[in-house]
Structure 1
Amino acid sequence: MRHTVTLVAVVLAVVFAGSAQAQVIDADNIIMRVRTVCNTGQGGTLIAAFDIRPLSNDWAPPYGRIGGFCSVFTFTSSKLVLQGVQQRYQTGYWGSPYRSEAFGPSAWLNMHAHTGNPNSALPVESTYFTPSLDCQGNPLNDKFYEIMRYTMNIMPTASGTVTLGLYDVRPYATIPYPTSGLVHMSAVFKADLGWNMNDSLQIVQGLVIPVELSAFNVTGRPDGSMLLGWHTATETSNLGFEIERGDGVNFEKVGFVPGHGTTTEEHTYTWVDENPVAANNENLVYYRLKQVDTDGTFAYSEIQSAEIQPSYIGLEQLYPSPVRVGTATNVPYTLAVPGTVHMYVFNAMGQRVATLSDGESHQPGRHVVAWDGRSDRGDILPAGMYFLRFTAGIGNGEEISANQQIALIR
């Protein structure tokens, strides 16, 4: 999504805690903006926020306080349908918010303030206001606080751009309000859509999602590789897809598949990772797609994962090793096909002392059995050298066997 934003200063009435008289901060010390939070494209949802930011040099502790606000939010009603508004500040301090569509189908009026009670003026801090967040709920850390959010549906046929605006956030008039001999303030306000000296506009582009990704799947193959497949319903200025692999949190680029530019036809893509690297002991590999536009903008797909399918049958290295009596060690093994597994531990005299698997059936994949260095009777085995015998029956009377030496210490 690409947009331009104009930030405009706003006049608000502010009370400083502990002061003997209300102090009105001028327009150079409070900034407002209208901001797009989420945009899911045609037929989807557009969420906008009304934010304010007090300048830090004038709002250091004791924090300035705001007694209320008045604004008119406007939007392009020919492409957007307002679904609802959300208050983003603490309830119970100001009176009930006044919300009205009296300005017509393309505007929404909000008024909210306390009614003469100086203790109801809210300090501008995270205790009372929501710091600005992105669509996933992550903080932007830009010192803005959200006042309201507006949720709109984007019409399925919408294209081009829409305009979001904030108008007529008027200066508050201060009213003497005596309490214990001190003069505090209350707020009165009036909105007038024709008075536009305090405007903040945002031109929202990208109502058409550049690429509509309808499917993305990852499948482990019998040869140990990974097959990635995805499907697009439409594409707009699509340069292509970067393939990223990682541990589910951190990713790196491992491949690229060119896109089809601009097209309304459906397309299917595939890519094979010949040498997948598991991110953990569960043998899982995580992938995501980074769809890149011709102008350099990009968007990520959801993360998908799959387990590496082994191309062999046998034991892997125990971990930790050597085995310490009383502490569990992991005994991993892999099956390329379904199999019936027997695993036994023998001492140096060839006597079977522990059973790890006694004919259990398992599907293809990587499996792990834990052993704590005890015998089948639960006795702690003496320190020394032991031998692990692995046998997998894979049908038609065929068996695959492997042996591994185990050092047992105390």
Structure 2
Amino acid sequence: FTGAFVPHTQIGFDRNDDGTPDAYSPGFENDSATPLPVEFAGAPTPTVEGRDVVLTWRTLTETNNAGFYVQRKRKGTASWTRASALVPTKAEGDASGEGHTYRYRVMSLAPGRYRFRIRQEDRDGVRSAGPATALVEVGLEKQFSLHAPAPNPLRPGETARLPVSVPEGEAVEGVLYNSLGQQVRRLEASGAAVTVRAEDLASGLYFVRIETDSGRTATQQVTLVR
């Protein structure tokens, strides 16, 4: 399992992490004196199975609830995205207001890090979102690394090659920095390596930094000698 339940929490209206309403928010603030239709036991619990994530969540009470939508947000993106059709409530016709347990499988995700949450919709069409999971890694089983450059030190006319190991399907960007931390240039990152050409570089110590589209970073040093 990745992530864990948190103490039970009543859901609030749907918002992004920065506090702004997201695409599904009705744009209203919750009046704490008005009971919400669903009370969650906590954030959904995710189980990663290859490129799929199985989410399990539990409600403590349900009143006037139509059902749920699963939402996901990939690291580095600003908005939540719907990841399911409506999951119908199990409390249909149940006047007790008691809670229930639900499961939903989000299938065939691209490699990356994700958060998940459950958005509830009541029978009046009002939508609200529960707490989100911690970051969940999907499809990142392969070791991530930036290997030492060769040749090193680097001399005029030479090109240093730094092999890269990244999960399948992830893009890599490389940047070269000088010893003062100033960006010198963007680097060519093709295939399974990043390359540094000696042309137009002064003698000294440089740092090669790579970052994947899922947010992983790695750094190596290379020295240029003239």
Structure whose alpha-carbon radius of gyration is higher: 1
Higher relative contact order (CA 8 A, sep 6+): 2
Q: Which has the higher strand share?
A: 1
**TM-score (norm. length: structure 2):** 0.50
